[in-house]
Structure 1
Amino acid sequence: MVAKLLSQGHYDPKAINDEFSEKVFNKFLEDLDPKKNIFLKSDVDSLAKLYSKSIDDELNGAPVASFIGVSKVFDQRIAESVQWKNALLEKPFDFTIDETAELNGKKLLYPANQQERKDRWRKMLKYYALERYVDLQEAKGSLKSDKNNTQLEKEAREKIDTMMTRMFDRYKVKFTEEDKFNLFVDNITTAMDPHTEFFPPADKRYFDEELSGSFFGIGAGLQYSEGVVKIISINAGSPAAKSGQLAPGDIITKVAQGADGEPLDMLGYDVQDAVKIIRGKEGTTVRLTIKKPDGTIKEVSLVRAKIDNDIDTYARSAIIKDSVKNTKLGIIYLPEFYTPFQDPNGRRSFTDVAREVQKLKDEKVDGIIMDLRRNGGGSLYDVVQMVGLFIKEGPIVQVKDRVSGPQVLKDEDNSVLYTGPLAVMVDEFSASASEIFAAAIQDYGRGVIIGSTSTYGKGTVQQNIGLDHTGFKRDGDGDLGAVKLTLRKFYRISGGSTQLKGVESDIVLPTQFESLKLREKDNEYALQYDEIPKSNFTPWSSKYDINTLKQLSNARLKKDSSFQTILKNRSWLANENERSYPLNIAQYKADKKAIKAKADQIIAAQKLKKQLNVSLLPLELAKYEKDENKQERLKLWIKSLSDDIYLKQAGEVMDDMIVEAKNFAMAK
């Protein structure tokens, strides 16, 4: 059924042949053994000879043999690893020896023999123990413990033993043959493209309940990936979002309860188990130890809460005043392009943004900034209508399926709600509908796009198709699970796809994530960029010169110490995450200190030395005068804007646009 769905329904299906079979085979082995310390090279060679070119035959109806063969060898090697773990953790580690551990499986070949494989386990366990040993030493210093280093080293090994036992128990008890088969089928679907995923029935329910906006506790979507629990999404308005310290790609390494609870290591936990530990009663505290994609470690303390959509996940606005330049700017924050799918009378992003625009017009702002940073997308209808608030009628986006020609979605309303200077803020995590909005504004020349070099680059549309004994179900429910299938692709009205390339910013502001591989283009299975004929549209009559704005911005950035610090340090941090790990304690401590110093520099650089003058619109706080909690959250949002170096730069660009517009009017 999956093979039939992929072949007949996917927007751009790869041929299910020997080449595709080999990709799935290699992908399945990598997911089972991300650190390349389970399978031997001889295992891989013999399995490849038997099965690497047969998965396509199995998809076309041949008996399923590849999964069974791979699974059998995997179980055998795991059993051996349990014995090695026990033996290796019985004896103390010597942390004075100069050696390193390579934990990135993508940089390794499969071990040539058992001795090499066992040595990889030794180095991995030693590194994990070293991490805990140093943590215990630091805790000893702060608590003035009387434990000696021998005791601490033993305690560190015991912690690793507990963690690894839990991981192996998961392999034995929870990672059943059915679980491995679900992973195998998901490897088949994601080999088509990263967003075509398979959900077995239980996972589909979990996906619906936990990762689509109803993940209560801290408000983060989690995924088990390459042996770790990773954050894949942040719910707008949640404790995770309001902390400003968590982001997709962060790895949760430890979880502690309350202000002084003992941190519990997450190594070996799957997502469902991790969720149970992170969840708790509303108002209680949970502390997460996070490993950032750049390798830095930090502890984030969060107060669990039930997400209240009223102010946190809906559009809201504020005013930025500059007494020196005598300007007043409006900023509209939009966390997602939401729409009330289940409630015809519910709020939708298009009408909410229109309301905020009108409020800012009533305040006679000189310009408006649309903040779409970290906006992962949403309703296609709403983004089309929203662009229409800023332009006269015309095409907004082209949508194409595998059979028909492009469908042009248009704004049919000739009226324009706002005609003044407009800027759109984006970053690496602005995706899908956010990219459609930014692309349309850019193509029309209606406003300036400000942010990272480019947005995420997701230019595809998916729909859940249920798999059932009776056939395929468009409602997404099925006895056999569901496939989230890529059905369509977005194209700009200028002809280029938003897929892979995303939207390139007119004004580029350096970010610490630029050197990290976080975008769609960094996934080897992503669909490619292409172009179709452009739509017929009339550009906006701009009152500014984009090249002048770029020159003025670049001149400011060269003098801005914050952005120069980010530029100087971001490549260093990215490179640090790619290197091997020291097993010598002196080198480990020196590296840890250096990474923390660089990270602290970047964190400090991202806060303004002189705060912006940001305030809520009149009556906004009064609306919640009986709800101190909501008032406090609004104040925290205003505080975050006041410290935002990126918003300051966007405001500077907007000031340049205002000056250019005035000069244009005078010249006219």
Structure 2
Amino acid sequence: MKVAKVLPVSLLALALTAPVAWLTAQADAGNPSAEQATAAKLVYGLLSDSRYAYRPRALDDKLSAEVFKRYLESLDPGKLFFTAGDIAKLEGYRSRLDDAIKSGEVAPAFEIFSLYQTRVNERVAHARALLKQDIFSFEGNDRWEYDREDAPWSADTAELDRLWQQSVRNDWLRLKLAGKQPDEIRKTLDKRYANMSKNVGELNGIDAFQTFLNAYATSIDPHTDYFDPRAAERFEQSMSLSLEGIGAQLQKQDDVVVIRELIPGGPAILSGKLKAGDRIVGVGQGDSGPMEDVIGWRIDDVVDKIKGPKGTQVRLDIVPAEAVLDSKPNRIVLNRAKIRLEEQAAKGEVLTIPGVDGAPARRIGVIKLPAFYQDWEGRRRNSNDYASATRDVERLLREFRGERVDGVVMDLRNNGGGSLDEAVAITGLFIDKGPVVQAKASGGDVRVDGDTASGVVWDGPLAVLINRGSASASEIFAGAIQDYGRGLIIGETSFGKGTVQNLVDLDRWPMADGKRFGQVKLTIAQFFLPGGSSTQNKGVVPDIKFPVTVDASEYGESTLDNALPWDRIAAVPYVRYGDFGPLLPRLEALHNTRIAADREFRWWSEDIAQFRAENAKKWVSLNEAERRAERDRDAAKRKLRQEERKALGLDLDPLGEDTDDGLTSNERDIAQDAAREKAAEKRPDPLLRESAAILADAVRELDSDKPLSAQVLLTESRKPGQWAN
């Protein structure tokens, strides 16, 4: 099937993995709908056409086998439900899924999904039965081998039984170590496993279809995804940092949707009538619409009832957190509004770095940017207040200029990407005109995007902090800053995602009435830095390296089996502002001396080493004495560190006394769990402080050594204190 060519919606350097929402619809789990049949054929038309896909692949029996494998592993990634016998029975589908997608007759995917649901129910029944057996003594050398990604499928149900017995015993041991008694443990785990079966039982035809089409999409390349209409809406919401509703973060607990957090400035918090932990048991529209009892509903269905256009009214029946669930609810009326998700926006702070050998202290501004977000729809409407990472970063930089800070650190750790336009524009805040990224399309054509505006917002000292979770648009920004010699790159080698995605709306072809078919996030190009190098696979390598948190063999683009290889194209002309090579040995020496005496940095390094060693085992002991000794050791370490913090006048760790309670997130008190999550954000951050100290070192060294400054800073006619003009 061929589809009519369309103009690109927007070039995007999108996040590492698309958010996959479990969706609900009026489709039977075993009976694909007409819309799904059409969507499958449309997705096939896109992914097999070189006019759209950067690396199109023929949908043949070979690719069908890959889709088959990915679909099974997406349903059962830990290989804890299907047996080798199940896979053998499904083998006939291995070479038929290509025909199913082309024709839109995707019933095989639904049949596989149905078997998955059956196997989950069987496993849950087995796990609940184990709780009644006498298997919970924890001596000897038993272990739970939890990492089964590369394990073969279990030969039969007897082998699965043995695996599940070890898994259940580990769950029991965690709760026992947390101080729970046998009756309480049994009750907690029985409810946990029952909820697992219930949650999987709620999955339907839309869930099956979304998972299946994504098995096809990600077989083309790791960053191509299919979004159902509701998933597409949520993705756009995450990129725009805005939504229309009441301003509450919700969580499902058992059969009830609970308020986890109230968003500042939203109708919910401004009403003064709601708080974290309150339960929503009914929803009504407007001032007279019928109240619907939403107990037992899926959370996404409840969310759909609560959100709506700004200015409209919604009524909620609320059972307060402190009341029993069958209490009479309070009825609350709220007017929906447009909510800005400020918690996910750029934030700034100023760190003071003490001087050395009589030198003055330095004040370093820090901008934490979690994503390169942009409200596409707001921009299209020429709205004056649309969300934009560039706007927010520019505002913070101007504030820093007013405060006369000595340097700026851009913290891009775990920033998985976002809008390519924003990455280019933010780079332009630090350089005076020039190319930022080259995008090479499948036909070989290269497009250059860059900063065309004269002047800069910040021309002073700059550093960029990255880690393995920094990807895509983050790598464009960090790589361009490095190519230009505009700032220091500090941290870990980045993820290595060097491809560009485009959102394609499938509703445009059949001229659909409303949103029926979803969207595809499609890889359309590979990006290259101004110097011609791609970040694909290799990532951006920092100038000053911190200890590696996650090994490149475990996480990153290079671990993905169908990722594009690294490549290089011709460089484009651009100005080099600096060459930090001559300065790096001094910075490394100062850095190493400082961290040797920095307790927080040393503790972080020790924790990382311990985490990596434990993670490399891929198993945990089921010996109670051994596990208890480990728990006591970790508790003693946390206590000793808190005491040392007090003695040294350091900030206390708000999670210093935190221990494993053996519970999952939806088993804890939701309000307390949300508060704990907030407290974690305030933990000491030795990496950020050390990055600021490295930048302060660079400022001091260049200010005091004019010959070195002349070597490092290449641009002439620089004002005092400037790194570039």
Tell me the SS of whatever aligns to 2:701. helix
In structure 2, the partner of 1:316 is 348
Q: What does 1:342-421 correspond to in 2, within 5 Å?
A: 342=378, 343-346=382-385, 348-421=388-461
The 8 Å contact of residues 109 and 212 in structure 2, kept in 1 or not, is answered as yes
Aligned equivalent of 1:433, options 465, 469, 473 = 473
Distance in 1 separating the partners of 2:159 and 2:557: 35
Identity over the aligned pairs, expressed in percent? 29
In structure 2, the CA distance between the partners of 1:348 and 1:19, relative to structure 1 (3 Å rule), is same
In structure 2, the CA distance between the partners of 1:551 and 1:325, relative to structure 1 (3 Å rule), is same
Aligned equivalent of 2:220, options 179, 186, 192 = 192
The 8 Å contact of residues 437 and 480 in structure 2, kept in 1 or not, is answered as yes
Cα deviation per residue 1:84-103 (whole Å; 9 max; x = unaligned)?
34533333433234322323
In structure 2, the CA distance between the partners of 1:465 and 1:285, relative to structure 1 (3 Å rule), is farther
In structure 2, the CA distance between the partners of 1:539 and 1:75, relative to structure 1 (3 Å rule), is closer
1:47 aligns with 2:86: no
Q: What does 1:62-211 correspond to in 2, within 5 Å?
A: 63-64=105-106, 66-71=108-113, 73-78=115-120, 80-98=122-140, 99-135=142-178, 138=179, 152-172=181-201, 174-208=202-236
Deviates more, 1:525-534 or 1:1-10: 525-534
In structure 2, the CA distance between the partners of 1:504 and 1:596, relative to structure 1 (3 Å rule), is farther
In structure 2, the partner of 1:10 is 53
Cα RMSD after superposing both structures: 4.4
Cα deviation per residue 1:50-98 (whole Å; 9 max; x = unaligned)?
1222222333338546425534543553454355345333334332343
Aligned equivalent of 1:337, options 333, 353, 372 = 372
What amino acid maps onto 1:32 in structure 2? Answer: L
**TM-score normalised according to structure 1 size:** 0.72
**TM-score normalised according to structure 2 size:** 0.67
In structure 2, the CA distance between the partners of 1:652 and 1:43, relative to structure 1 (3 Å rule), is same
In structure 2, the CA distance between the partners of 1:468 and 1:420, relative to structure 1 (3 Å rule), is closer
Aligned length: 568
Distance in 2 separating the partners of 1:310 and 1:94: 47
Report the CA distance between 1:492 and its aligned residue.
0.7
In structure 2, the CA distance between the partners of 1:235 and 1:424, relative to structure 1 (3 Å rule), is farther
In structure 2, the partner of 1:545 is 583
Tell me the SS of whatever aligns to 1:60. helix
Tell me the SS of whatever aligns to 2:500. strand
In structure 2, the partner of 1:471 is 510
In structure 1, the partner of 2:521 is 484
The 8 Å contact of residues 25 and 52 in structure 1, kept in 2 or not, is answered as yes
The 8 Å contact of residues 353 and 362 in structure 2, kept in 1 or not, is answered as yes
The 8 Å contact of residues 169 and 622 in structure 2, kept in 1 or not, is answered as yes
Tell me the SS of whatever aligns to 2:525. strand
Cα deviation per residue 1:171-195 (whole Å; 9 max; x = unaligned)?
33x1234422331122111222333
Distance in 2 separating the partners of 1:548 and 1:186: 49
Report the CA distance between 1:442 and its aligned residue.
0.6
In structure 2, the partner of 1:325 is 359
In structure 2, the CA distance between the partners of 1:316 and 1:73, relative to structure 1 (3 Å rule), is closer
1:532 aligns with 2:569: yes
In structure 1, the partner of 2:624 is 585
Report the CA distance between 1:536 and its aligned residue.
1.7
Distance in 1 separating the partners of 2:399 and 2:103: 61
In structure 2, the CA distance between the partners of 1:529 and 1:596, relative to structure 1 (3 Å rule), is farther
In structure 2, the CA distance between the partners of 1:270 and 1:183, relative to structure 1 (3 Å rule), is farther
Tell me the SS of whatever aligns to 1:191. helix
Distance in 2 separating the partners of 1:359 and 1:338: 21
Distance in 2 separating the partners of 1:608 and 1:24: 58
In structure 2, the partner of 1:462 is 501
What amino acid maps onto 2:424 in structure 1? Answer: V
Tell me the SS of whatever aligns to 2:418. coil
In structure 1, the partner of 2:696 is 655
Tell me the SS of whatever aligns to 1:155. helix
Distance in 2 separating the partners of 1:169 and 1:644: 40
Tell me the SS of whatever aligns to 1:530. coil
Distance in 2 separating the partners of 1:337 and 1:75: 38
What amino acid maps onto 1:89 in structure 2? Answer: L
Report the CA distance between 1:398 and its aligned residue.
0.9
In structure 2, the CA distance between the partners of 1:592 and 1:524, relative to structure 1 (3 Å rule), is farther
In structure 2, the CA distance between the partners of 1:185 and 1:445, relative to structure 1 (3 Å rule), is same
Cα deviation per residue 1:97-151 (whole Å; 9 max; x = unaligned)?
432232332253222223222222322223223333443xx25xxxxxxxxxxxx
In structure 2, the partner of 1:247 is none
Bigger RCO of structures 1 and 2 (CA < 8 A, at least 6 apart): 2
1:523 aligns with 2:557: no
Q: What does 1:243-282 correspond to in 2, within 5 Å?
A: 257=277, 272=300
In structure 2, the partner of 1:442 is 482
Cα deviation per residue 1:463-490 (whole Å; 9 max; x = unaligned)?
33233495388x9x74122222222332
Cα deviation per residue 1:470-529 (whole Å; 9 max; x = unaligned)?
5388x9x74122222222332111112223322111111236455894433333344333
Mind listing any 5+ residue stretches in structure 2 that lack a counterpart?
Answer: 1-41, 253-260, 267-275, 279-295, 308-315, 323-337, 652-677, 711-725
Distance in 2 separating the partners of 1:650 and 1:426: 10
